Every structure is written in structure tokens, then in C-alpha cells.
Amino acid sequence: MSASTNFRIKQRSGIEFLTLEGCAPIKIHRHMKAVYGNGCMDVKNLRKWVRQAKSCCAGEMSVLYEHRPGQPISVTCDENQCRVDAMIQKNCQIKRRDIAVKLGISQERVHHIIETLNYRKVCARWVSRQLTDPMKEHRKTAAQKLLNRYHLEGDDFLKNIATGDESWVHLYDPENKR
């Protein structure tokens, strides 16, 4: 359990104790605000816990986190991430809807997985936002060549360089209409 979870459990235990002693919720909140400061829960939640403490017998209220109903998000597992990544690598023009149908998961989850994998849509294709190792190596080699030429030619080399805006186009396909 994390420290914040233990902190909340302590507050809930205090609420249960003071409620069973007959303290009013606003008085309990003032006591807790004095002890816990800004870490104290708000009055609305405190009143909820007071109602729960009043509905239980002494010592029977659970101050721990209970399992809440609802479907857990288990489709974002490593297996599905690998499968989505493989599908995008195989066909970079694949649509989220097609991925969702093939894997049997929602489009929202597919979108979440794609964001987790750091892909973004560029001209109807999924392109990784991060440079791959070969791309990094290519940039390093090009920079090293330019540095070597500068050491050989000096300032004359710099006069021959034309600069401008840099555009990197990944996976360019001239067959596309775009």
C-alpha cells in the first residue's frame, strides 16, 4: 500500500471513532483539518464516511478500499500492445477500426495503445514519434562527416552551407494521392 492510501485509512478510522463518540461531521472535519492540514479530506467525502459509520455497528465499518464493480482495463496488456505494434509495422496505413475488429477490443482501447506506443498519424500512416536506432546512427554519421569537413576546411566550409527549415518525411510513398 502507498503512503497516501495509509493516510486515507487513518483518516477514515478517525472518522469512524469520532462518529461513534457522537461528534458532528463539521466538528470532525475541524479536528482533522487541525491535525492533517491540507491533506485532510473534504467535507463532502467526510460526510459520506460519517453516514457509512452510522449505518454500521461499532468496529464493523471497512476503512480499506473495497473492490468496485466494473470491467477492468485488461485489454491494454503487453500482449495486445505487441499485437497492435506488429499490425502497424506490417501495414502502416491500417485503421484503428480494423485493428479493433481483428483484436476484438474497442477503438478507444486501440487508440490508447497506439498513444502508449508513441505513434501518430502522418498523412494516413502511423509513424513512430521517436527515432529508431538506425535513424539515430544515420544522424550521428551525417553530423560526424560535417564536423570532419569543418576541421579540414575551416570557415570556408561554413560559407558553403545553405540553411533553411528542416522537414523530415518518413515512409514517403509517391503512389499516394497526398
**Neighbour tally for 18: CB within 10 Å:** 19
Query: Which has the closest alpha carbon to 114: 151, 84, 158, 74?
Result: 84
Which comes out higher in pLDDT, residue 67 or 141?
141
**Neighbour tally for 166: CB within 10 Å:** 5
Sorted by where each begins, the domain ranges of the chain are: 3-55, 75-157
The predicted-structure confidence for 21-70, as pLDDT tens digits, reads as follows: 888 888 888 888 888 888 888 888 888 888 887 877 766 666 665 555 55
pLDDT at position 29, please? 87
pLDDT at position 137, please? 92
pLDDT at 169 over 80: no
Mean pLDDT of the chain: 78
Residues 166, 176, 101, 72: what is their CA dihedral angle, to the nearest 10 degrees? 10
Contacts for 87 with CB less than 8 Å, ≥ 6 apart: 94, 99, 102
Q: Do residues 63 and 16 lie in contact, with contact meaning Cβ atoms separated by under 8 Å?
A: yes
18 — pLDDT class (breaks 50, 70, 90) = confident
Full-model pTM: 0.35
60-69 burial string, b = 16+ CB within 10 Å, else e?
ebebeeeeee
C-alpha cell at 102: 481483428
pLDDT at position 123, please? 63
79 — pLDDT class (breaks 50, 70, 90) = confident
pLDDT at position 101, please? 92
122 — pLDDT class (breaks 50, 70, 90) = low
Q: 75-157 domain in CATH 1.10.10.10?
A: yes
